[in-house]
Structure 1
């Protein structure tokens, strides 16, 4: 592979190095943690997003319905909004665990800030679309405007979210366990869920991100989010990994690509 191709597929992560970057990892967790009060503020009665929705010509939805109680205390969100906020919390927990316990490669402060910001943008678009009358899943769902009932879009979105999060998390933990065993040094991991698709952790990310979008704003928005992520992974992240893995595991990687044809999800992508 030429140096021109190497430059084209530069990664946000410094692959092949175990250099310690605790400050960048702490920044990553901080950026992801800052997302939670933002999402809560958008979804709560004192909506952070109301001025933006109104300024863009939309109609902001005032929270309705009895709020969810957790351990005997109201969290101030309807069931529908509580689910969306829970998805944001889940993304924070998963990605914080990834950066502190799973990823072995260095991160730069710039990469930490960029990845954290991008994920906050995804989450904020979902919650803003939910609170805008024209784009909210409640605008055409069978439950009308009742935020205490869950439309089929939310149920499907939650299922996609849970399944996708499981795929991403479990596959990465399986690979980490393999890499930590000294007898596997220099070997490519092709077992577990990675025996079904070469980048199944990316496929899991696509699923839970699309599920979050479906639960917030329905099928069209979920398709847009999922389609964009598939495009981004297949045109940017996967080619970059092909360059890296082709160099680090020349024979193994070629054999793996030949035996496992699926890139993101088995029998689909």
Structure 2
């Protein structure tokens, strides 16, 4: 990604949206009665869970998914909408076709791992004793996962919209954005991403998987992405960035990290 450039890359952005859109039929096929992931689960020695429970209706349309499965599919849809909006309306820097394809594939892989773990009896949140494979009941893991997902999406989306509004004002050219949600943590949009990704994982496969996803993403952002961005911002904004880091010590989430 070319930081600081505003060169137009419509083909790459279109490829990104297309790659993200292709994720939705894949997730639906894994979660629905088509059981796309069942052969893989069987090959790995698992036991696929067959869909049960009354299907959810949305605007009079039968989704063909139980409440549990509809929630996970809704999370996949939400990630597609958010990321497509970012690449079409928020992101200002150019992206290459290779990066667009990679990010699309990474998100599809992440979503697929979640839905496959959910549809495998040994790893699904449905395997918890409080649920006992009953898809009409929502375990605490799913409810907590929903909360994390909504909060994370809100933090990431709102913070990026706030920063975009700041950047569009010509008077702010060459200045770092330090207000709004970015006044709580310097990379709170990354923190929001960690939250909703971990929430998705928790709702699908429980506490351990949710913690593993959160740990992996936190490690990546704090050890690679944030240091690279800090170096760039330090060179571009100089003293203003140094002062910002002093006044806002949190990197990802306020009072946590």
- Mapping of residues 1-269 of structure 1, within 5 Å: 13-269=1-257
Task: Report the Cα distance in structure 1 between the residues aligned to 2:191 and 2:23, rounded to whole angstroms.
Answer: 23
After superposition, the C-alpha distances for 1:124-172 in whole angstroms (9 at most, x for unaligned) are 0000000000000010151211111111100000000000000000000
Task: Report the Cα distance in structure 1 between the residues aligned to 2:61 and 2:5, rounded to whole angstroms.
Answer: 46
Task: Report the Cα distance in structure 1 between the residues aligned to 2:211 and 2:146, rounded to whole angstroms.
Answer: 15
CA RMSD of superposed structures (Å):
0.6
Task: Report the Cα distance in structure 2 between the residues aligned to 1:70 and 1:103, rounded to whole angstroms.
Answer: 31
Task: Report the Cα distance in structure 2 between the residues aligned to 1:196 and 1:70, rounded to whole angstroms.
Answer: 37
SS of residue in 2 equivalent to 1:106: coil
Q: Which runs of 5+ in 1 are unaligned?
A: 1-12
Deviation at 1:236, TM superposition (A): 1.1
Q: Which runs of 5+ in 2 are unaligned?
A: none
Deviation at 1:70, TM superposition (A): 1.3
Deviation at 1:264, TM superposition (A): 0.0
Q: How many residues align?
A: 257
TM-aligned CA distance change 1:59 to 1:48, over 3 Å: same
SS of residue in 2 equivalent to 1:150: coil
TM-aligned CA distance change 1:85 to 1:141, over 3 Å: farther
Moved over 2 A (4+): none
Could you state the TM-score of these two structures normalised by the residue count of structure 1? 0.95
